[in-house]
Amino acid sequence: MYTWSYTIMGNEKAWEYWCQFFGLCQDYLTSEENIRFPDSLPYEIVCSLVERCYNELVGLAFSQNARLAFQVLGDFLMSHGAEMTEDLKKIILKNTLWRNDRSYLKDKKDRLERRKYLFDFREKIIKYESGVIIKVPIESVTQVCDRELKKAGEDYS
């Protein structure tokens, strides 16, 4: 798995899960909506699709049997202002325990960065209220490369 940052969405597998969740939502489009929005879906429609298939989204995360799937689900739901039950919050928090991540990272700098993002995410989950859109930090590959090049003193723009 290619990792470019230690944000929740900072690796290929996280984006695979995100795409699976989004694809599941698209399955819930009505035929009328399919005709009305052939190329792209307005954000409001996606939010309503998340509500329509909420139970299936949660089921998909369970079927993956992976901590990251629940982390991405939390991000996905918060970014659409979707419902998040207290039981689901507990499951997501259980899947974001620092003790599970710290042993995978050998470098102290990497551990500190992941810890920062993981704790920020956990705080957002704890405080999350349905209906409120919360954005979790995302760093694209380009942003990470640009930052590293600037650190190295190179400017290729």
Per-residue model confidence as pLDDT tens digits over 87-99: 999 999 999 999 8
Q: d(Cα 156, Cα 96) in Å, to the nearest integer? A: 37
Query: Tens digits of per-residue pLDDT, 27-48?
Result: 999 999 999 998 899 999 999 9
pTM confidence score: 0.87
- C-alpha span between 98 and 71 (Å, rounded): 12
Q: Which two tokens stand for residue 75?
A: 């991000």
